[in-house]
Amino acid sequence: MSRRPAIRPERLAARLARFAEIGATPRGGVNRQALTEGDRQARALLADLALARGFALRQDDAANLFLRREGGDPALPPLLLGSHLDTQPTGGRFDGALGVLAGFEVLEALEDAGARTGRAVELVSWTNEEGCRFAPGAMGSQAFAQGQIAPEWREARAPDGARLDDELALTLAVLPGVLLAPLGSPIAAYLELHIEQGPILEREDVPVGVVTGIQGTIWLEVTLTGQAAHAGTTPLDFRRDPLAAATRLLAALHGEVMPSDPQARFTVGRIEASPGSVNAVPESVTFTVDLRHPDAARLAALEQRVREAAMREAERARCTASFRPLAHMPPLAFPEAMLEVIETGAGRAGLPTLRLISGAFHDALHVARCAPTAMIFCPCRDGISHNEAEDVEPRFVAAGATALLEASLAFLERAEMGTSIETRGAAMRAG
Ligand code: HGY
Ligand code: MN
Ligand code: MN
């Protein structure tokens, strides 16, 4: 008879520290962007850890890496745990890595206890969740859910000029002996542990967040084009200056969008002028826009508002405006039955829970469109993320991993009893 599986917090903490060394930055963060050498190193380390425990490995065309602990009936679709190992350029040690390594800790806890599960339990490390090197974000999970890599993604270029398809090939080649599986495979359910990346759980001092859904995201690349001119000889009424137009445009949008709607999020993360010469009026300016809203209709209206304002300011400066969509992720609600699986699991461990929506997108957003899915949040210090200062108290790391283990066991029990949870993620009701 196997004993009850249990998380070993010190082993998980050591794993998190070990992975944080890959791409470590001088200020205590991690720069391990998707499909870079650091990302490949982290995948290889995870593969080595898996083989050392006898877990089977496979990877798909999108370089999603799957680890499998076999169950009683190999034909049954597995319970899948996961998250991502890629980071922001000035990322933290927990965004993504916590979910992957806590998921690995669950597989190890099952193995240590000799647990016999009716079906396999798998762990996936999704490719390119962040999307900062190659847009869109959550690329690997989206390819898995839709069963294909969009052709235009393969030609995507990173700011350093690298081409996505070449980087994918290099990444797959790191694990030559690992079976290459088709994109998309049946799963019974998906559970993801992630840091909240916001202040609510810490403020309420609640260790386990039960994520009700994920708000919508739209990424746009906007280019305003005018006319390059001499900085010294060109008077105002001869100028067609796209940077002057962009400055007015962004001042107006920052002054209106979020102040007028507390649920809206408007971010310009990158802006560059070309040719970028100190003494030439720029010919063009390109910047990114990240829009978020929990309500699909209001998100669409936000995009329209940005497009119209850009065209208006461009025209006013005798410039033109063009737009390149980079990502479109509609909001989604997780099924009630899966929220209850998490609450049951956390309850068995005596962990208080709180339901909340996710302001960040996650791989679970796409997986939820093809399998019953739920997310667990844990508090992070001051709600900071996408920042090298990202931090999580050890007690919350342990609580999050314990909730993931107990929710996994609760799901497996229900599945054994034939309590099928067949609901997929649904469009989120108007916020
Ligand atoms: O941008 C996001 O929401 C995610 O953290 N990559
Ligand atoms: Mn993340
Ligand atoms: Mn992130």
Segment 21-59, tens digit of pLDDT: 999 999 999 999 999 999 999 999 999 999 999 999 999
With a cut of 80, say whether residue 404 has pLDDT above it: yes
Q: Is 361 in the pocket of ligand 1 (CB under 6 A)?
A: yes
User: Relative to the alpha carbon of 360, which ligand is closest?
Assistant: 1
167 and 173 Cβ atoms separated by less than 8 Å: no
User: Relative to the alpha carbon of 291, which ligand is closest?
Assistant: 1
- Cβ neighbors of 422 (< 8 A, separation 6 or more) are 372
50 and 40 Cβ atoms separated by less than 8 Å: no
Going from the Cα of 88 to the center of ligand 3, the distance in angstroms, rounded, reads 6
Residue 83, strand partner residues: 125
Going from the Cα of 30 to the center of ligand 2, the distance in angstroms, rounded, reads 13
130 and 83 Cβ atoms separated by less than 8 Å: no
Please tell me whether residues 196 and 320 are part of one structural domain: no
Q: Is 135 in the pocket of ligand 1 (CB under 6 A)?
A: no
Burial of 196 (C-beta count, 10 Å sphere; 0-12/13-18/19+): buried
Residue 1 lies in a domain: no
Quick one: which atom of ligand 1 is closest to the CA of 138?
A: 6
pLDDT tens across 350-360, in order?
999 999 999 99
Average pLDDT over residues 233-250: 98
Please tell me whether residues 109 and 197 are part of one structural domain: yes
Q: Is 130 in the pocket of ligand 1 (CB under 6 A)?
A: yes
Residue 392 lies in a domain: yes
Last residue of a domain, one of 274, 305, 329: 329
Going from the Cα of 369 to the center of ligand 3, the distance in angstroms, rounded, reads 20
Residue 377: what residue type? F
Please tell me whether residues 185 and 307 are part of one structural domain: no
Q: How many domains does the chain have?
A: 2
Please tell me whether residues 227 and 209 are part of one structural domain: no
Please tell me whether residues 193 and 230 are part of one structural domain: no
Residue 3 lies in a domain: no
pLDDT of residue 423: 62
Q: Is 94 in the pocket of ligand 1 (CB under 6 A)?
A: no
Going from the Cα of 69 to the center of ligand 2, the distance in angstroms, rounded, reads 24
Residue 389 lies in a domain: yes
With a cut of 50, say whether residue 236 has pLDDT above it: yes
Please tell me whether residues 299 and 364 are part of one structural domain: no
pLDDT of residue 261: 98
Please tell me whether residues 108 and 78 are part of one structural domain: yes
Going from the Cα of 83 to the center of ligand 3, the distance in angstroms, rounded, reads 10
pLDDT of residue 419: 61
Cα 301 from Cα 270, distance rounded (Å)? 22
- Which residues line ion ligand 2, judged by CB < 5 Å? 95-96
Last residue of a domain, one of 295, 329, 363: 329
CATH number where 199 lies: 3.40.630.10
Check residue 25 and report its DSSP letter.
-
- Which residues line ion ligand 3, judged by CB < 5 Å? 95
Please tell me whether residues 233 and 317 are part of one structural domain: yes
Residue 13 lies in a domain: yes
> Tokens 């859904």 correspond to what residue?
213
Quick one: which atom of ligand 1 is closest to the CA of 217?
A: 3
Last residue of a domain, one of 329, 355, 372: 329
Q: Is 360 in the pocket of ligand 1 (CB under 6 A)?
A: yes
Please tell me whether residues 50 and 178 are part of one structural domain: yes
pLDDT tens across 103-155, in order?
999 999 999 999 999 999 999 999 999 999 999 999 999 999 999 999 999 99
pLDDT tens across 166-179, in order?
999 999 999 988 98
Please tell me whether residues 66 and 162 are part of one structural domain: yes
Report the greatest alpha carbon distance in the chain.
86
User: Relative to the alpha carbon of 83, which ligand is closest?
Assistant: 2
Mutate to test the pocket of ligand 1, among 85, 94, 129, 357 (most ligand atoms within 8 A of CB): 129
- Confidence category of residue 416, pLDDT binned at 50, 70, 90: confident
Residue 281 lies in a domain: yes
The SS3 of residue 113 is: coil
With a cut of 80, say whether residue 1 has pLDDT above it: no
Going from the Cα of 415 to the center of ligand 3, the distance in angstroms, rounded, reads 31
84 and 129 Cβ atoms separated by less than 8 Å: yes
- Cβ neighbors of 305 (< 8 A, separation 6 or more) are 257
pLDDT tens across 374-391, in order?
999 999 999 999 999 999
Cα 299 from Cα 430, distance rounded (Å)? 11
Nearest Cα residue to atom 3 of ligand 1: 360
- Confidence category of residue 430, pLDDT binned at 50, 70, 90: very low
pLDDT tens across 189-208, in order?
999 999 999 999 999 999 99
Q: Is 196 in the pocket of ligand 1 (CB under 6 A)?
A: no
Strand-pair category, 189-195 with 373-378:
parallel
Domain holding 317, by residue range, is: 217-329
What's the mean pLDDT when you consider all of the chain?
Answer: 96
Verify cis geometry, omega within 30 degrees of 0, for the bond prior to 275.
yes
The SS3 of residue 34 is: coil
94 and 215 Cβ atoms separated by less than 8 Å: no
Q: With residue 347 as reference, give the H or E element that holds it.
A: helix 336-348
Average pLDDT over residues 261-271: 98
CATH number where 315 lies: 3.30.70.360
Average pLDDT over residues 270-297: 98
User: Relative to the alpha carbon of 126, which ligand is closest?
Assistant: 2
> Tokens 């206890």 correspond to what residue?
113
pLDDT of residue 231: 98
Please tell me whether residues 275 and 341 are part of one structural domain: no
Residue 159 lies in a domain: yes
Cα 122 from Cα 77, distance rounded (Å)? 10
Burial of 237 (C-beta count, 10 Å sphere; 0-12/13-18/19+): exposed
With a cut of 80, say whether residue 2 has pLDDT above it: no
Residue 417 lies in a domain: yes
Q: Count other Cβ atoms within 10 Å, centred on residue 195.
A: 31
Please tell me whether residues 125 and 264 are part of one structural domain: no
